[in-house]
Amino acid sequence: MLTATRDDKIIFVQDSLYQPLFLKYRPQKLKDVLGQDSVKETLINAIENGKIVHAYLLTGPRGSGKTSTARIIAKSLNCTNALDSKSPTTDPCGSCESCVSIANSSSIDVTEIDAASHGQVADARHLIERVNLASVAGKYRVYIIDEVHMLSNAAFNALLKVVEEPPKNVVFVLATTEFDKVPKTISSRCQQLRFKPITIDDVLKRMNYVSKEENLNISLEALEAIAKHSDGAMRDALALLDQIGVFSNDKEAVTKEKVLNIIGAVSTDDLELLLLCLLKRDLRGLIAQVDKMISFGKEPLIICQELNNFTLELLTNISLGANELAPDLIAYIKEQATENYELVQISNSLAELEIKLKQTTQTKSLFKAWLVKLAHREDIFVIKDLLEKIKKLEAGGLVSTKTSSLAQMPVRPKIQAMPGPDATVRVKPFQETSVPVEKVVLATSLEAPSSGFLEFLSPGSKGMFISSKACLTSVEAPKAVISIPEKFKFLKAKLEQRSEEFLSAIVKQFGDQITQLDFEISDSMAQVELVAEKKTLEIEKEEIEDEIIEVVSPLTTESQTCAVREELIEDVRPTTFNRDKLDEVREAAINIFGGKQL
């Protein structure tokens, strides 16, 4: 600050304005660009080998160094006092007239355009008129178009020809944060350089260097909070450090809590308590914690985003076996045997809530109501419960895909025969007993193999096999066949991808003579059900024949005859048995044992 006096008055003259940190510490050489190794390597090799292309397209998130790199390209092409005595150079001096004018945005040879405010076709035509002008101080004329995706369609069309074939010693450098909005006709004419978000470690190192250079008294935890909040944007991190720096003094370092209050972020302790209330389904504690955070000025949208990030980070720590993030919370999760799927369910719900919070004006009410609903969430039907039910069903044979009327079929007692030539048949009193649904057999073909091979499958493959209603319908060396209903044919490709696992499981049950597995689509479930009924009837027929043989065999000899009363046959007839089939069995018994019908 300079002072001057005139007519006994003191006049204050400010020598220069304060320069923000993100401008003051902007990289001036390619080697200074932070976290973009592939971009730096590409440009350095191109300059050293004399392979400068006519148009570059710099794409990537905000604050990753695109505009700074565009200016460095202009300096490297036009520096007149290169430190390596080369032109173009990878090491511009930064002090010659060309370098200084480019840094100050006053160079005649470098034209920088903001497409957000100069995106009309008239601006594009004005630029085309100036393209043919020769360079003044340097060798190249460089046109930097920032946020190029903001150009109108007419402006893009006007630039097509000049971007594809510009005059000699003219270089276009286009920069954008939304590459998908740049027409293919433009992007295909440029060499694309992809910028990625800067890592938290690189941001932290840079801010630590800047804070020391600026003599800022700020704690490492505060710098880490700034680095995480910047989300990979170095410009945002330095701008926030500039804001925090005003609170710096020699007596006390700026703390993490101060940073969180300024940026409106939520502390880890608050997030840990909020997530703990959700896991415990503690509504009183949940509502009290939400009211407390909102009363301190925390926005529901910010709380939702921070809680979702915290949940995902916690899930990562649990998966990796670490407990550095929230050791007490992780200990509780392990103690309660909370599955990872529950944390995933909470994260998915919070992601949905984030979208809805951006679409409503009643953010506080929606946020509180949503968390209460999330505390009353329904647990996901986990695979381990499914596997337990499958094991129970397999104990009774192949699993029925729907409830059968046979499930409540009364069981008839077996017939007991009394010895002696004039033996009479006695039947135990009738007892109504029910067969559990798990015991019902629904075969998928007349010779359907057992489904025991499922126990050799992984949970994922087993669940996919069952959900697709697939069936192992044939096992005849060297080939096994799995049938899939017509309505689930869209899952055939998924099942075929796991064919090796299915074949391995079938081999374990039926032997290594099975070397081939085929998948086929069945026309409809009607045929399957028809065959299933036929198989069920045959099983019942065999049971009735065994009972008849039990009765008759003690009574028959070569010289004796047996009498089978029709009433007896009626008593032992299952309710679902076909009468014609039973008549055939009765006639077969009479013919075999030489009996006669009374």
pTM of the full structure: 0.57
Whole-number pLDDT of residue 149: 93
pLDDT at 350: 92
Class of the 200-263 domain?
Answer: mainly alpha
Q: Which residues contact 511 (CB under 8 A, 6 or more apart)?
A: 477
Non-local (6+) Cβ contacts of 320 within 8 A are none
Average the pLDDT over each of 203-212, 469-478, 495-504, 546-555 and give the range with the smallest value: 546-555
Higher-confidence position of 329 and 398 = 329
- In the prediction, which pLDDT does 195 show? 94
- Collect all residues with Cβ–Cβ distance below 8 Å to 593 and sequence separation of at least 6: 552, 556, 561, 562
Q: Which two tokens stand for residue 125?
A: 């035509």
Of 207-221, 381-395, 452-466, which range is least confident? 381-395
Query: Mean per-residue pLDDT for 159-185?
Result: 91
Architecture of domain 21-194: 3-Layer(aba) Sandwich (3.40)
Q: What percent of the chain clears pLDDT 70, i.e. is strictly above it?
A: 73
What is the per-residue pLDDT for 142?
Answer: 92
Class of the CATH domain delimited by 268-375: mainly alpha
Strands 471-476 and 479-485: antiparallel
Q: Where in the chain is the domain with CATH 3.30.300.180?
A: 388-404+440-523
Question: Which residues on neighbouring strands pair with residue 170, listed in sequence order?
Answer: 141
3-state SS class at 218: strand
Reply yes or no on whether the pLDDT at 433 is more than 50. Answer: no
CATH 1.20.272.10 location in the chain: 268-375
**pLDDT of the residue at 467:** 74
Band the pLDDT of 103: cuts 50, 70, 90: confident
Q: Classify residue 486 by its DSSP letter.
A: G
C-alpha distance across the termini of the chain, in Å: 131
As annotated, the residues of the chain forming the CATH 3.40.50.300 domain(s) are 21-194
Phi, psi dihedral angles at 300 (to 5 degrees): -55, -40
The string of DSSP letters for 312-343 reads HHHHHHHHHT--SS-HHHHHHHHHTT--HHHH
Q: List, in sequence order, every residue forming a beta bridge with 10; answer none if it has no partner.
A: 5
Residue 53, pLDDT score: 92
Residues 504-561 have pLDDT tens digits of 888 888 888 888 888 888 764 445 445 545 555 555 555 555 554 544 444 444 444 3
Measuring CA to CA, which residue among 445, 447, 405, 451 is closest to residue 528?
445
Distance CA 40, CA 33 (A): 7
Q: Is 70 exceeded by the pLDDT of residue 79?
A: yes
Q: What is the pLDDT of residue 383?
A: 56
In CATH terms, the fold of domain 388-404+440-523 is GMP Synthetase; Chain A, domain 3 (3.30.300)
DSSP annotation string for 356-414? HHTT-S-HHHHHHHHHHHHHTPPPP--HHHHHHHHHHHHTTSSPPSS--GGGGPPPPPP
What is the Cα–Cα distance from 28 to 11, expressed in whole angstroms? Answer: 37
Calpha distance 97→506 (Å, rounded): 79
CA dihedral sign of residues 158, 163, 165, 171: positive
